Structure 1
Amino acid sequence: MKEVTHKFSRFHLSESAKIVSENVPGDRSKELLNLQQEIEGAVVSYPRSMPFAIKRAKGAIIEDVDGNQFIDLFAGCGVVNVGHCNEEVLSYVKEQQDQLIHALDFPTENKLSAIQKIIKNLPESVQGDYKVSFGGPTGSDAVEAAIKLAKIKTGRDGIIAFSGGYHGMTSAALAVTADTAFRKRLTSLIPNVHFTPFSYQYRCPSNDDEFACKNYAIDRLKFLLENKHSGIAKPAAIIVESIQGEGGNIPPVPGFLNELVEVAHNNDVLVIFDEIQSGFFRTGEFLACMNYGVMPDIITLSKGLGGVGFPISALVYKKEVEAWGPGAHIGTFRANQVSLAAANGAFDFVEKYDVKSHTKEMGAYMTQGLNNLAKKFPFIGDVRGKGLMIGVELVKDLFTKEPYPEMVKELRANCLQRGLLFEVGGHYNNVLRIVPPLTITPQIIDNALSIMEESFEAITSKIEEKKNDAVLEEASF
């Protein structure tokens, strides 16, 4: 796309990266990183792979304390969907802060407006079928609440989750998270959780055939639910991300979610769609599942719902699933009024500027650019996604698909020095997870892709030099 002033340009600090320190981290960042290491707990993770200290951010640009500006393809782990410090959303926040901040679960116009907007953005045919509840402020809190509600409703205990799935760090949320590294030193979480394969086409045993891949995953699920020798008693619910996030930004094969819901309901099992990362217009639709024309019994929301980073989570569930009474699930900071105001502002911003269409357009534009890079660099094995939830999987060999986590690690470090941020994930830590603010412009995307290409070229050149040196060394003997 030609370089023009875009309608979203004014919502960004700039539209390009700018590195002014000799290296990243710069001197002031180093001081703050050292202080952090001294006084903050060792669970800190992001500054280890992206070492700098943040001063401010606006739109899709983050500025550190040394004056370096980075293009943000990370969006606070998919949180700041309408951009860092979006002034239109912050106007709602500032007005609310002067009126009311904490109100437990008392009704306010602010809260009821947010609920109505959530329901209004569901498919029109089902808007009357769902209710909304609030719990604690994080995505993990929403998952805990969803599992609790399913168990209360069914009177059953078990949960089926999926390989590659991520749902959070609290007890139940971690129990249904597939990555065993997170719980290798924990002797117990909630019991009766069972995992089954997700519809992950790139690494499906069925040779990349969509139909066969979908059937493979559905057949495994049917076996667990319908074969009395599967060893699994009928569970309370199945929990699945509509698009896997930490697992590598993996969209399911079309039809998978639809058949999953059908199989579950045929066996009297509830379905929970985790839309914490894939929801709030991340794919262009309000919920990722809406791309596939399917709705579950319970939906978890968080992250982007707070618009510009305010903590909030919600459950959206069918009225027929209502099974708990007053006080059965509470949380002191549920539905904080400032976070609700941010949600209201974000919903209005999305509608005012048609962010849905923009997200789809920018997602297609980013994907096209990444596919162009894949033609040039043969270690890009797969480019996939919906809207602005994109995964780029790196492999050592396109035929064997051997994961290449070392390349991803080096790429992230190289891109950081040039002013580009992205998260890493995937089953083998070999996937670039691209989840920028939805307000990103074509110019920012072009600049991000240029940095990525420069970094790939630098790394590839270094690899070739090592190969040539090895050949020369062998020849000298």
Structure 2
Amino acid sequence: MKSLKKYHLSERVKIVSPSLPGEKSKALLKLQGEIEGNVVSYPKNMPIAIKRAKGSIIEDVDGNHFIDFFGGCGVLNVGHGNEYVLDYVKEQQSELIHALDFPTENKLALIQKILKHLPKEIQGNYKVSFGGPTGSDAVEAAIKLAKIKTGRDGIIAFSGGYHGMTSGALAVTSDTFFRKKITSLIPNVHFVPYSYCYRCPFNKEENSCDYDCAKHFEWILETGHSGITIPAAIILEPLQGEGGNILPKEGFLERIVEIAHKYGIIVIFDEIQSGFYRTGSFLEFMNTRAVPDIITFSKGFGGIGFPISGLIYKKNIEAWKSADHIGTFRGNQVSIAAARGAFDFIEEYNIEEYTKTIGSYLVEKLRVLESENPFIGEVRGKGMMIGVEFVKDKTTKEPFPEYLKKFRAECFQRRLLFEVGGHYNNVMRLVPPLITTKNIIDVAIEIMKDAIVVCMEEYMEPILAKNKTE
């Protein structure tokens, strides 16, 4: 395989400031606080001002180099500033940028690439439609199409699911943190349990569970007294992201799709984060035998951060007519060119297989930490979409968000960036660029080990002292 080293700014961290944030970052963070709206969130836990980035390395305005295991929230699948992709971007920028939904060779070539990368047996069954620039736009479009097709109104979503911040997308997002200040979203949305075996909502062990979550979903549909009428659609992530990088039990997705189709319900798979080779396959559903009716895409499809979103959907649910769904910025030509470049880069460098290999390498390293740390309850995931859940006790599984908060802060000071999620904000969510090298992973693991030593001193000593007293 061709070396990926040249696509990174470096393969190590660089410490310039004695502590973070550095002085230049402090000044820009202060100015941001004065002139930008209060909804800013990421700099609250990762307080830096960014100057440049390449591959898996970010440089702040003070000259510090950080390892990026955050990946722009799962967007930068082929890395920051990938020059291979930028060549496509520059060529397109010199010709055409904005074209509404007029046909272009650029756009039609991308649609053909998308369809070509679906499983051969279903390639001819699907179409592609672009939406606005964000994943939320794709979700809104999917819900609209399902309602138009079925003539029904309701939607069933899943606990732990995240689908976006616009009204419809937020309505099918389960995290009440985002919903508690909003008194009205789209109506007739209901939630059912997702397959979260580490924290089974039915208190079953994985080896004794008979897909109780899927059976509960079916019960809701078959009984006349669940209070839920047959919906237009269900929407779920084949591998949950914000919910804690949760990989469902094998066979769960197949059962859910089978049940939904039995009742004439359209199945929407949200592949906005799990798609575009994030888990090692083009789309995560391709690792299963489950076949959805609609697939939402965004994030990684822009390759290096260009905004793009849309739907891949079965031809037999085509229900909308011209202008039933529009958007000024749908199918931006530069973003489309970036997506084509990312596709070609992935093929030339065999990133599909590399993602599986490098993801397994990272999981292996993390599981060594799990075996040595009493506060790591589970390491899970697929490809480069990995979750590490922190608990106070491996038997009781009581969430330990305080430990993770401290751990994250210590990793940050050592120049490692990652996001936190999960039902209790106790899951380290790792979504690095797919081109991350083993050298970079080794440095990141050493940072984690050093951070763990500090955290253990703070949290383990009181426990040992308490046990000694008792």
> TM tier, shorter chain?
over 0.9
Indicate conservation of the 8 Å contact 1:140/1:170, yes or no: yes
Which residue number corresponds to residue 329 of structure 2? 333
Evaluate the alpha carbon distance shift between residue 92 and residue 266 of structure 1 in structure 2; reply closer, same or farther with a 3 A threshold.
same
State yes or no: 1:102 paired with 2:98: yes
CA distance in 1, matches of 2:104, 2:123: 21
Indicate conservation of the 8 Å contact 2:2/2:349, yes or no: no
Which residue number corresponds to residue 111 of structure 1? 107
Indicate conservation of the 8 Å contact 2:202/2:213, yes or no: no
Evaluate the alpha carbon distance shift between residue 6 and residue 418 of structure 1 in structure 2; reply closer, same or farther with a 3 A threshold.
farther
State yes or no: 1:91 paired with 2:87: yes
Structure 1 stretches of at least 4 aligned residues deviating more than 6 Å after TM superposition: 468-472
Letter of the 2:223 counterpart: N
Indicate conservation of the 8 Å contact 1:214/1:253, yes or no: no
CA distance in 1, matches of 2:232, 2:460: 54
Evaluate the alpha carbon distance shift between residue 214 and residue 40 of structure 1 in structure 2; reply closer, same or farther with a 3 A threshold.
farther
State yes or no: 1:384 paired with 2:380: yes
**What does 1:43-442 align with in structure 2 at a 5 Å threshold?**
43-205=39-201, 209-210=205-206, 212-213=208-209, 215-442=211-438
CA distance in 2, matches of 1:297, 1:372: 40
TM, length-normalised to structure 2: 0.98
CA distance in 1, matches of 2:269, 2:338: 24
Indicate conservation of the 8 Å contact 1:200/1:213, yes or no: no
Evaluate the alpha carbon distance shift between residue 469 and residue 23 of structure 1 in structure 2; reply closer, same or farther with a 3 A threshold.
farther
Note the C-alpha offset of 1:213: 3.8
Indicate conservation of the 8 Å contact 2:370/2:377, yes or no: yes
Which residue number corresponds to residue 11 of structure 1? 7
1:284-331 deviations in Å (ceiling 9; x for gaps) = 000011111222000000000000000000100000010001000000
Instruction: Give the CA RMSD over aligned residues.
Output: 1.6
Note the C-alpha offset of 1:224: 1.2
Evaluate the alpha carbon distance shift between residue 471 and residue 285 of structure 1 in structure 2; reply closer, same or farther with a 3 A threshold.
closer
1:3-42 deviations in Å (ceiling 9; x for gaps) = xx97111100011111110101000000000000000000
Evaluate the alpha carbon distance shift between residue 431 and residue 468 of structure 1 in structure 2; reply closer, same or farther with a 3 A threshold.
closer
CA distance in 2, matches of 1:55, 1:214: 51
Indicate conservation of the 8 Å contact 1:273/1:300, yes or no: yes
Note the C-alpha offset of 1:208: 5.6
TM, length-normalised to structure 1: 0.96
CA distance in 2, matches of 1:210, 1:113: 44
CA distance in 2, matches of 1:470, 1:387: 40
CA distance in 2, matches of 1:370, 1:469: 28
CA distance in 1, matches of 2:339, 2:86: 10
Evaluate the alpha carbon distance shift between residue 457 and residue 208 of structure 1 in structure 2; reply closer, same or farther with a 3 A threshold.
farther
Evaluate the alpha carbon distance shift between residue 335 and residue 214 of structure 1 in structure 2; reply closer, same or farther with a 3 A threshold.
farther
CA distance in 2, matches of 1:251, 1:258: 14
Note the C-alpha offset of 1:211: 5.7
- What secondary structure, in the 3-state scheme, does the structure 2 residue paired with 1:329 have? coil
CA distance in 2, matches of 1:195, 1:214: 20
- What secondary structure, in the 3-state scheme, does the structure 1 residue paired with 2:191 have? strand
Which residue number corresponds to residue 461 of structure 1? 457
CA distance in 2, matches of 1:329, 1:393: 40
CA distance in 1, matches of 2:179, 2:105: 42
